[in-house]
Amino acid sequence: MSGRLENKVAVITGGNSGIGLATAQLFAEQGAKVAITGRRSDVVNRATTAIGHGAIGIVGDVAKLTDLEKTFSTVHEKFGKIDVLIVNAAIYALAPLASFTEEMFDRLTDINFKGAFFTVQKALPYLRDGASIVLTSSVVAEKGVPNHSIYSATKAAVRSLARSLSAELLDRKIRVNVLTPGPVDTPVFESIAPTPEAVEATKAAMSQFAPVKRIASAGELAEAALFLASDASAFMLGSELLIDGGIKSL
C-alpha cells in the first residue's frame, strides 16, 4: 500500500534530532524522499542512518544564507523539486530579562526567526507549485512565561509569518501552516539541565503545565506534521495546528 507521501520530496531543517528526526523517520516510512539538515556532521550522519530509506543529510546553519542555498541546490540535484518543507530548526535559550545578553538575543533571533524566513525564501525556486510548508512554533508564543521572552517572541514571529507568506504565495498554491507544540520529550532538556536527574526533574515540572499532566512524544508531533504536509490538510493555509495537551485551551 502506498504511503501518504509516496514519491514526495521533503526537506526538514533541524531534522537531526527531536521533533525533526521523528518527522523525518515518519515521512520516510510514508514514502517520501527525505533530506534533513543540522549543524553538526556527526549528529546529521547518525540521524540519516536512523532514518534510512535513502534519506540524505546536509550539514548547514539556517542562519547562514549561503548554507541554505547549498542545501536546496543539493536537494534539487539529488531529488528534484520539493513538495514539503518543514521549517523546524531552532534553538532554546532561557534567561531573565536583566541578564539576557546581546549575543543570546542575536543567536536566538538569527536561527529561530531570520533562519525561518530565509529558509522559505531560499527554497522558493526549488518548491513545486502546490507545495506544503510547515513552520514549527511553540505554545509559549501566546503565553507569558518567565525567562522565555525572546524565545517566545521568535515563535510568535514564526506564527505571523505563516499568515503573510500564505497570502503572498497564493498564486503558486503553496500552503504555509504552523505546527504549535507544547512541551515535548526531546534532547532540548539536556541543553538546559546540567545532570540526568535535573533533566528528569525538568520534564516532570514541564508536564504539570499541561492539563493532561504529561509531555508529548516527538512521534505525536510527527503525526501532526504528516497531516499538515499531506493532501489531508489541503484546505488549510495560514493556519495553526495546536498540539499542546490543553495548555492554551483549558
Q: Which of 85, 67, 105 is nearest to 179 (CA)?
A: 85
pLDDT value at 127 more than 80: yes
Domains in the chain: ranges and CATH: 9-242 (3.40.50.720)
Q: What is the mean pLDDT of the chain?
A: 93
Predicted confidence at residue 1, as pLDDT, reads: 57
Q: For residue range 175-220, list pLDDT tens digits in order.
A: 999 999 998 988 787 777 778 887 888 788 878 878 899 989 999 9
Distance CA 229, CA 211 (A): 28
Annotate 20-41 with DSSP letters as a single string: HHHHHHHHHHTT-EEEEEES-H
In this prediction, residue 16 has a pLDDT band, given cuts at 50, 70 and 90, of very high
Average pLDDT over residues 68-96: 95
Average pLDDT over residues 98-106: 94
Percent of the chain residues topping a pLDDT of 90: 78
pLDDT value at 118 more than 90: yes
The sign of the CA dihedral 102, 61, 124, 150 is: negative
In this prediction, residue 60 has a pLDDT band, given cuts at 50, 70 and 90, of very high
Q: For residue range 139-161, list pLDDT tens digits in order.
A: 988 878 887 899 999 999 999 99
Predicted confidence at residue 63, as pLDDT, reads: 96
For the chain, how many helices (H) and strands (E)? Answer: 9, 9
Average pLDDT over residues 28-49: 97
In this prediction, residue 168 has a pLDDT band, given cuts at 50, 70 and 90, of very high
Task: Express the helix, strand and coil content of the chain in percent, nearest 5 each.
Answer: 50, 20, 30
Percent of the chain residues topping a pLDDT of 70: 100
Instruction: Tell me the three state secondary structure of residue 160.
Output: helix
Residue 143: C-alpha distances to residues 140, 148, 209, 225 (Å)? 5, 10, 12, 22
* Residues 6 or more apart whose Cβ sits within 8 Å of residue 223: 26
Catalytically active residues, by annotation = 151
Give the CB-side neighbour count of residue 35, counting CA atoms within 13 A: 25
Answer with the residue of higher pLDDT: 197 or 64.
Answer: 64
Q: Please check whether residue 17 is in contact with residue 36, taking contact to mean a CB–CB distance below 8 angstroms.
A: no
Predicted confidence at residue 186, as pLDDT, reads: 84
E strands in the chain: 9-12, 33-38, 56-59, 82-87, 127-136, 175-181, 184-185, 216-217, 240-243
- Longest pairwise C-alpha distance within the chain: 56
* The model's pTM: 0.94
